[in-house]
Chain A
Amino acid sequence: MASSIGSTFAGAAPSCARFKHHLHQPSRISAAHAAAGRTSTSTSHIAPQTSLYEVLGIPMGATCQEIKVAYRRLARVLHPDVASSHNTTRGSQDTSAAADEFMRVHKAYTTLSDPEKRADYDRTLFRLRRPAYVLSATNRGSGYYARRTWETDQCW
């Protein structure tokens, strides 16, 4: 859902083409990431299936400690500072792709590490899984919902 912002802008303006571009880049980390990256741009029906738990690569019953450990493990690989130094070409495209992946992981972490937000999210997740509610990037309304969720998910 974080990346729906990127997609809004990608559709919106040629000058923001970099947003669109790196969303299509396959993730270096896990299937879950790659899925998250692609789904939010076009094939929207799959979007609800990439849960925040999948983003962090943890089971739904994970403890707070497990969430923190998973977040750190991913940060060590995905954070642009690390990602750029592991890649000798160090293109700026890679850096911004890494930034997107890191932001997605961080958003999952902030939601799941806060008990209240996690409970809220778990309820939404249950609702989202029902077929009636489909996030579709083809109409403006969906981006709207995605944004709202994303907005309210900020937690500082």
Chain B
Amino acid sequence: MAAEPAYTVASDSETTGEEKSSSPLSEISIGIDIGTSQCSIAVWNGSQVEVLKNTRNQKLMRSYVTFKSDFPSGGVSNQLAHEYDMLTGATIFNMKRLIGRLDTDSVVHASKNLPFLVQTLNIGVRPFIAALVNNMWRSTTPEEVLAIFLIELRAMAEVQLKRPVRNVVLTIPVSFSRFQLSRIERACAMAGLHVLRLMPEPTAVALLYAQQQQQAVHENMGSGSEKNALIFNMGAGYCDVAVTATAGGVSQIKALAGFTLGGEDMLQNIMHHLLPEMDNLFSSHGIEEIRKIGLLRVATQDAIHKLSFQPSVQINVDLGNGIQICKVLDRNEFEAVNQKVFEKCASLIGQCLREAKVEVEDVNDVILVGGCSYIPKIKSILTSVCKRGELYAEMNPLEAAVCGAALEGAVASGINDPFGSLDLLTIQATPLNIGIRADGNSFVPIVQRNTTMPARRELIFTTVHDNQTEALIIVYEGDETVEETNHLLGYFKITGIPPAPKGIPEINVCMDIDASNVLRVFAGVIMPGAQHPAAPFMEVRMPTVDDGHGWCAEALHRTYGSTLDLITVQKKVQK
């Protein structure tokens, strides 16, 4: 941190945009919203945010990459003759649901009936994914697929803006772990992009809202007093909620909540509803099965889209071998099949409001964005949970996140607007608890979720054995109380603890998150009465784990058990 490094390493974990000090201010930054299903790109054009269009005049491009014998091509440049072309086995999509997940993850298991190959060994390693090229399964990784797609986006932006593009602000789901973020950064690095910020989707929307409020104040000479907004964003892959307090162009994120839940889940539920024995029928993943699963997928997707605008829909699909689906699906049935999805949406909203300590009556605007915002049930959940008749109507639900990201890109690269349109600031909050394993098998949070960033928190721990000379610091992120169900971020040992009875050495663990969301863990031991630490402190930038980290956690437990445990020092001053 101290001085500008004389060299840069194109890196392993250091792929974040943190050391961005050397980049010239004039460099342009673009905002990218990589959705599970669709993707868009926007830029501050000097006076406002502009969503870029591809050569086919589309602002929204499908997020997929098709592998062919020569070179792969993605949804930016490619045009599908028909939706079915995406479902021949050669096309990988839903990268955002796969990236940074282990093969023990239920989301990965649900992805097994996508029309390409997803293999799992259920041991906590990266799943194997492959595309069908010339009747052979060619392996790839979610990072690689995403990188190919990002390269296309970058090329498209460079052609239109007539200048090189390097700096990006990407929107990400609230529920992404830091390990998943590091995979996104890796994909960006592979595509030659420099990540300025990874912005939780609803916070990007919050920034756009802050700008709109600011302009409204300028135009109407309004009060400019604080406004609370609840933002609900649901796309194909993820559902996110944020509560923000906005005044004077400053958007302060009060709370975030998110879950892996989206249109894809509804689609899968309906597919299973239409064809209950689907998983068995398609498990062999032969060419014929892939074609059938593709047919069913397209028909179901089409039906769900239609149900947003009409009360019922006729589904006719012939899967061959006597499997024929002829059915009228109405909204009630759709809503009943997806009841759990909608319940979860409502509970996320409630959770977010509670944690923001904002009463529903004090919410000024309720903003609904994302691909699922057209679903009538989602609208009705928002209006009923938030107790109001109307939702905020000043935003394009499919462009809000990418516009917010482009604004953040302009603000973070220090662009000034003479009319004050960029006098904006987002004060971010951490979406997940971060802590260490201590007190037996417990997860002890050090930075609580919804802590304003930048943040620095510390806790004191102590030894559990007499003359314990080493302690293992295992850092996790998540909302669970049992440490194993959280995301492992990394681990290291504190050594050289002077021999002492248990409970005497003070082991200080400090976590520092800077404004660009880089997490550093500092730890060391100080003996009571001593002015200096017994050994040099450790500074570890997290996450340090690699792909096989499901193995790591288990191996750590097996090898070290409780020998290097720690317990929390009880707070003596408790108010």
* A residues with CB within 8 A of B: 2, 5-6, 8-9, 11-18, 21, 68, 72, 75-76, 79-82, 84-86, 88-93, 95-96, 98-99, 102-103, 106, 110, 120, 140, 145, 147-149, 151-152, 154, 156
Contacts and interface: CB of A to CB of B under 8 A. Distances in A.
B217 to A, nearest CB: 13
Given A12-B526, A106-B452, A79 B425 contact: yes
B167 to A, nearest CB: 13
Interface stretch (B180-188, B454-462, B559-567): B454-462
B135 interface: no
A15 B537 contact: yes
B455 A13 contact: no
A108 to B, nearest CB: 12
B412 A81 contact: yes
Given A80-B515, A90-B21, A151-B571, A5 B532 contact: no
Contacts of B19: 92
Given A75-B250, A76-B250, A85-B411, A140 B528 contact: yes
Contacts of B522: 9, 13, 15-16
Contacts of A89: 21
B572 A92 contact: no
Contacts of B514: 80, 95-96, 99
Interface in B283-306: none
Contacts of A93: 1-2
Main secondary structure of the interface of B (DSSP, over half): loop
Contacts of B359: none
B508 interface: yes
Nearest to B246: A72
Contact of A15 (B414, B448, B452, B539): B539
Contacts of A96: 1, 514
A12 B19 CA distance: 25
Contacts of B9: none
Contacts of A13: 522, 524, 533, 536-537, 539
26 contacts: A5-B456, A6-B456, A8-B508, A9-B522, A12-B508, A12-B532, A14-B536, A17-B2, A18-B1, A18-B2, A76-B248, A79-B515, A85-B414, A90-B20, A92-B21, A95-B515, A99-B454, A99-B514, A102-B454, A103-B456, A110-B452, A145-B573, A151-B459, A152-B575, A154-B448, A156-B448
A151 B526 CA distance: 18
B573 to A, nearest CB: 4
Nearest to A92: B1
A80 B455 CA distance: 12
Interface string B228-247: 00000000000000000001
Contact of B250 (A9, A12, A21, A72): A72
Contacts of A151: 459, 571
B455 A103 contact: yes
B531 interface: yes
Nearest to A15: B539
A9 B571 contact: no
Nearest to A87: B414
A17 B529 CA distance: 22
Contacts of B524: 12-13
A16 B2 CA distance: 10
Given A12-B533, A85-B413, A147-B460, A156 B515 contact: no
A96 B573 CA distance: 30
Contact of B21 (A2, A17, A91, A140): A91
Contacts of A84: 21, 414
A15 B2 CA distance: 10
B575 A79 contact: no
Nearest to A102: B454
Contacts of A12: 508, 524, 526, 532-533, 537
B25 interface: yes
Contacts of A90: 20-21, 414
B40 to A, nearest CB: 24
Contacts of A6: 456
B462 to A, nearest CB: 13
Nearest to B457: A154
Given A80-B454, A99-B515, A152 B573 contact: yes
B94 interface: no
Contacts of B516: 80
A-B pairs, top 6 by smallest CB distance, nearest first, are A13-B537, A85-B414, A80-B515, A99-B454, A148-B573, A90-B21
B245 to A, nearest CB: 8
A147 B1 contact: no
A106 B33 CA distance: 30
A140 B529 contact: yes
A137 B314 CA distance: 75
Contact of A148 (B4, B412, B530, B571): B571
B498 to A, nearest CB: 15
Contacts of B1: 18, 92-93, 96
A79 B21 contact: no
A31 to B, nearest CB: 23
A88 B21 CA distance: 9
Interface string B14-39: 00000111000100000000000000
B425 A82 contact: yes
Nearest to A149: B573
A88 B25 CA distance: 8
Contacts of A154: 448, 451, 457
Given A9-B537, A68-B226, 7 more contacts: A5-B458, A12-B526, A15-B539, A79-B427, A84-B21, A95-B21, A99-B454
Contacts of B456: 2, 5-6, 103
Contacts of A92: 1-2, 4, 19, 21
B450 interface: yes
Given A13-B536, A75-B250, A79-B425, A140 B411 contact: no
